[in-house]
Amino acid sequence: MDSVKHLLNQIYGEETGKLALERLAPIIEKFPTIPKAKKGFFSQEDIVLITYGDSLKKEGQAPIATLHEFAGSYLKDAISTIHFLPFFPYSSDDGFSVMDFFAIDPELGAWEDVKAIGNDFELMFDYVVNHFSSQSQWFADYLAGKPGYEDFAIDVDPATDLSMVTRPRSLPLLSEYKKQDGQSVYLWTTFSADQIDFNFKSLDVLARMVEVVLFYVQNGAMILRQDAIAYLWKEIGTTCIHLEQTHAMVKLFRAILDIVAPDVMITTETNVPHDENVSYFGNGRDEAQMVYNFTLPPLLFYSFVNENCKVLTDWARGLHLESPNNTFFNFAASHDGIGVRPLEGILPPRELDALIEVVKANEGQVSYKRNPDGSDSPYELNITYVDAILASKDSDNAGKFLAAQAIQYALPGVPATYIHSLLGSRNWTAGVKQTGRARTINREKLQVDTLVAELNDPASFRSRVFYPYLNLMKVRRAQKAFHPNAGFEILEIDPKVFAIKRYCEDQIIYALTNISSAETTVSLTGEETSDRMTDLFTAESIDSKSLTLKPYQYTWLTTEDS
């Protein structure tokens, strides 16, 4: 508990830190310790499926059970982990306005359904740590002034100068509410008026949210995604993002997990430029084990639109990490759109404007954030990743989309795939019209019987994406050189071919992807390769000195002795 004590004193000061330890110690002690069982946090077999609890639906069946049935039939040998986006009772934002952190939304199923999936796959839960629902019992207790809830929210005088605060949205930062005694209060609401920011200066909030973390571990969570963690701590007169106290809070959660369940990992979700993002690794041992690789999705999109991977190649060289306890959570698509803040300092504004035009031309939308000077700037591109990469609503080139995924899967880190990418889903514009929310375009609910019928049709776009994607996953899981911490070298052999060398003691792999619409011939001359190499997808012998890649073809080559 020494590290917990030290961090509490750092965050709250010695006097309040002592009180905090007195609050947390019995909470930590009441949860059974889960001894460390793994040699390390990561493996080449780690592949995460990202999904809502009700992405797949079937009449008369709980959606979580439907997902389990589908995953058991199709994904058993392809993925290791299922990441459930918030599956709690909620009031808005498709789950992220949590009303009860300890319950499963009865529309989705029950804890028994979640635990059943945990028998076949590892589980990743969303830990919505920054805010709670305005429709929750906790907020009702706050408005009523109930003991233990008086300081759950952050009450701010609306005349306060908050111009320095970093804003991820163009909505007002403060929202007005009326307490039960008739008093009006203006509360901090970073993301919406329905999402009340927690006041972590309150030990009542701290104790309750530590209890939430340990409850999730008790119910099978092996990875915890800390949603919007960058905004957790607020100090008026600062940017209120990435504050020292926020980093200390992540370290505190890590220290507690190291005591109770040392195999459980923290993944920080911080949609910000790369250098800010990787700061959540701490010293390599004391903060997050994984961070979302937020620069990858927009940069991959940019590379395919321009059929040139030079910027991607230059950026990827910087993915080296010093600690074997850290790695990237590599994703291309998520339940949200494609965040563009990570492109700051990498692409000039005119290049981003060109991407925006591609999105708008293909039925997508753009979400904006508020800047300190009162102006708005793009924050997120709302479009399915399939439609972004294809860059044409008339295209059904499954191979082009799969080429983008092959790059994601060859990079150092743990790959994660959003269910709608695996299923080849296109823009759900009808859903956007129904909800009026741009993000709905990427969140369609699918009837599983209809889905399976499409997958069984070899000519369907879904089938032409799904089965090669499964094969990509399965091949990757079998290669030691794709261990998240295995060595890598970015090769510059042609601006139209992204090339990476992955290696470990037992294996070397050259992963090459043609990101262009033109046939391209390349050579691995200068590399320590034999003239003939083996394609891991086809088992064919390949001439590594003169290799012709068809448009959007990807290949993983290994030396025959490895």
Closest to 117 in 3D by CA, of 156, 72, 151: 72
Token pair, residue 62, equals 């709980």
Token pair, residue 276, equals 């800010």
Q: Pick the catalytic residue: 197, 227, 336, 387?
A: 227
- Cα–Cα distance between 374 and 365 in angstroms, integer? 21
Do strands 48-51 and 195-197 pair parallel, antiparallel, or not at all (unpaired)?
A: unpaired
- Cα–Cα distance between 377 and 379 in angstroms, integer? 6
* DSSP 3-state of 366: strand
- Cα–Cα distance between 180 and 186 in angstroms, integer? 14
Residues 526 and 492 sit within 8 Å (Cβ to Cβ) = no
The number of helix segments (H) and strand segments (E) in the chain equals 17, 25
Torsions phi, psi for 491 (to 5 deg):
-100, 145
The dihedral built from the CA positions of residue 408, 414, 417 and 422, taken in this order, carries a sign that is: positive
Looking up tokens 């019928």 gives 453
* DSSP 3-state of 548: strand
Closest to 513 in 3D by CA, of 500, 531, 502, 526: 500
Instruction: Provide the residue type at 469 as one letter.
Output: Y
433-440: long-range contacts, CB 8 A cutoff, minimum separation 24:
438/337, 438/365, 438/366, 438/367, 438/382, 439/94, 439/335, 439/336, 439/337, 439/367, 439/382
Locate the DSSP E strands across 259-408: 265-268, 290-292, 327-331, 338-339, 365-370, 376-382
Residue 494: active-site member: no
Looking up tokens 């294996």 gives 507
- Cα–Cα distance between 423 and 331 in angstroms, integer? 15
Query: Hey, which residues are catalytic here?
Result: 227
